[in-house]
Amino acid sequence: MRKDLPVDEFSGPRRRAVLAALGASVAAAIPACAAPETLTAKIPDAQSSVAAPTSADPAPSATPSPTPTPTKRIRPTFVPDYHLPPVIDGLAPVITKIETQHPVVFLTIDDGNVKTPEMVRLMAEYDYPASLFLTRNSVVDNPTFFREFQKQGSLIENHTVTHNISMVREWGYQSQLNDMAGMQDFALQHYGRLPALFRPPGGAYSNVMRQAVAAAGMKAIINWEAKANAGKMDYQVGNSLRPGDIVLMHFRPEFAADLAAFREAQLAAGLEVVLLEDFLGVA
């Protein structure tokens, strides 16, 4: 479905911003074959040049820098080698890691209580697409804030209306479904897309929840085996990021420290940050 991914991702304001940011310095830095089209103001030509696979792709720096620099390279894409399990007997699948041979990692960011311009700036500077599992009650005061991440290539997913971390124990099927459906409606209204993925508040799930997720129109429950928390990485397995890891973060005051910890681990592991929805075919 998304084989034209680089073109899509480089459409609209983001592509223009990237192209504007490229400027003369990059034209000097990349092979001459790509320079003329990069410099031209004729966007479609520049786009097809930019979307071409990797020969003109400058290698990432071998030494992680504590100071982020503006992105001046094309984000690699990968043909997914993972197939999302289907809903079986009304139960949405539960995924904590993607089995893949590709050097990819998936960033997910939850809740939405804290909203600062720094968050938008850092995500743009690192050029990270992410799955944003938003809670309606955490973002309803300023839903527009998260459109900035949408413009960068991130997607909004479902983390309920109320964030009741005891919903699995306290609520039956219908109450769970209502709390999911309310966020589906909110996301469609404010972000123009129905979420395809669900993250349980606190991570706890049950078969009743899996049924509600499927009934709400979503494809999977997405949990994690690694997280960036309190300025460091926590791993449920091993002590480094693995290909296919799904990483949990939050929109918290320590966002910059968490993202720096993630970036250090991501670069150390030689992984590319890829949008989970693209890899699952549910973007």
- 127: contact with Zn ion by CB under 5 A: no
Q: Nearer Cβ to Zn ion, position 80 or 182?
A: 182
Least gap, CB of 253 to Zn ion (angstroms):
15
Q: Nearer Cβ to Zn ion, position 110 or 225?
A: 110
Q: Nearer Cβ to Zn ion, position 204 or 268?
A: 204
Choosing from 111, 157, 179, 278, the residue that interacts with Zn ion (CB under 5 A) is 111
Question: Which range in 82-90, 102-110, 119-127, 184-192 contacts Zn ion by CB under 5 A?
Answer: 102-110
- 110: contact with Zn ion by CB under 5 A: yes
By CB under 5 A, the count of residues binding Zn ion is: 2
Query: HEC string of the chain?
Result: CCCCHHHHHCCHHHHHHHHHHHHHHHHHHCCCCCHHHHHCCCHHHHHHHHHCCHHHCCCCCCCCCCCCCCCCCCCCCCCCCCCCCCCECCECCEECECCCCCCEEEEEEEECCCCCHHHHHHHHHHCCCCEEEECHHHHCCCHHHHHHHHHHCCEEEECCCCCCCCHHHHCCHHHHHHHHHHHHHHHHHHHCCCCCEECCHHHCCCHHHHHHHHHCCCCEEECCCEEEECCEEEECCCCCCCCCEEEEEECCCCHHHHHHHHHHHHHHHCCEECCHHHHHCCC
Least gap, CB of 8 to Zn ion (angstroms):
29
Q: Nearer Cβ to Zn ion, position 100 or 135?
A: 135
Least gap, CB of 201 to Zn ion (angstroms):
5
Question: Which range in 34-42, 85-93, 110-118, 230-238 contacts Zn ion by CB under 5 A?
Answer: 110-118
- 179: contact with Zn ion by CB under 5 A: no
- 157: contact with Zn ion by CB under 5 A: no
Catalog residues that contact Zn ion under the rule CB under 5 A. Answer: 110-111
